[in-house]
Structure 1
Amino acid sequence: MKKALSNTGLVYSTDAGRMCPGCRQPASACICKLAKALPKSDGVARVSRSTKGRGGKTVTLVTGLALDELALVQLGKQLKAACGSGGTVKDGVIEVQGDHCEQVLLALGKQGFVAKRAGG
C-alpha cells in the first residue's frame, strides 16, 4: 500500500531561487515581507536640517514617509535631482546633502505629499 503525498507545499525547486519560509513564495515576490515593510506614519513628511555626526556638514532629512524601501530610494533620487545634490536613504530616512529644505518641501508638494518643516 502506498502512502498518500501530503500537501505541505514545494519541497525543493531551483526554478524560482530562494523561497521565503513564511509565505512559501519566491524571495523576490515575498508577500509576508511586504506586509511588515511599511512603517507607521501619520501621513506627514517632515523635512529638517541636521549636522550631527557628520563633521559639520549639513544634510536635509526627510522622515515620516510610509513608503517601502524601493519607493523611498526612487523618491530620494527625484529629490536629489531636484536639488542638484547627492544623498542616500538610510533606515527609512532620505538624506540630501546640503541645506535644501525649501526645495525639498516644494518637490514633495508637487508629488502630492503633505510635507512640513520640522526643527528650527
Structure 2
Amino acid sequence: MQDSKLVYSTGVGRIVETDKAAARSVSTDGVVRIHRETKGRKGKGVSIVKGLDLEPKALKDLGSELKKKCGCGGAVKDGTIEVQTDDREKLKTLLQSKGFTVKLAGG
C-alpha cells in the first residue's frame, strides 16, 4: 500500500482531490452582456456583467475599477462581475471605452 493515498476518516474513508480552476466567464460570440437582476436580493437591483474572457486577476481588477467609477459595491463571482447599480448605460460606456463589444440583456 505505498502510493494508495488512503486517508483515514470516520465519514467517507477516502478523500478525493479536486482541481478547482478559477472560474472564467467565456463568451461564445465575443459579446459582453450586462444583465439586470433583482431575484434573491430583496428587490435591490444589481447589474451582472457576463462574457468577459479574462484571467481571474484581470477580472477582479476590472470589477474593482467598475465599482469605483460607479461609486458602489459589488463582487466578482463565478467569472462574472456583480455591480450594485441599476445604471447599466454607464457600465456599457465604461466597458466600450476598454474595447469590449457590449449589449444590454434582460430587464
Displacement of 1:40 in angstroms is 3.3
Give the distance between the partners of 1:44 and 1:79, measured in 2 at CA: 18
Displacement of 1:96 in angstroms is 0.5
Displacement of 1:75 in angstroms is 0.5
Give the distance between the partners of 2:75 and 2:53, measured in 1 at CA: 17
Matches within 5 A, 1:16-55: 38-41=24-27, 42-55=29-42
* Equivalenced residues, count: 86
Give the distance between the partners of 2:82 and 2:23, measured in 1 at CA: 19
Amino acid in structure 2 at the alignment position of 1:49: R
Bigger Cα Rg: 1
Q: What is the percent sequence identity of the aligned residues?
A: 52
What is the aligned-residue RMSD (CA, Å)?
Answer: 1.6
- Report SS of the residue matched to 1:60: strand
- Report SS of the residue matched to 1:112: coil
Structure 1 residues 39 and 46: CA distance shift in structure 2, 3 A: closer
Give the distance between the partners of 1:104 and 1:68, measured in 2 at CA: 20
Hey, what does 2:67 align to over in structure 1?
Answer: 80
Residue from 81, 87, 93 that aligns with 1:100: 87
With a CA cutoff of 8 Å and minimum separation of 6, indicate the structure with the bigger relative contact order.
Answer: 2
1:47–1:61 CA contact under 8 A, matched in 2:
yes
Amino acid in structure 1 at the alignment position of 2:26: K
Hey, what does 2:57 align to over in structure 1?
Answer: 70
Greater fraction of residues in helix? 1
1:46–1:118 CA contact under 8 A, matched in 2:
yes
- TM-score w.r.t. length of structure 1: 0.66
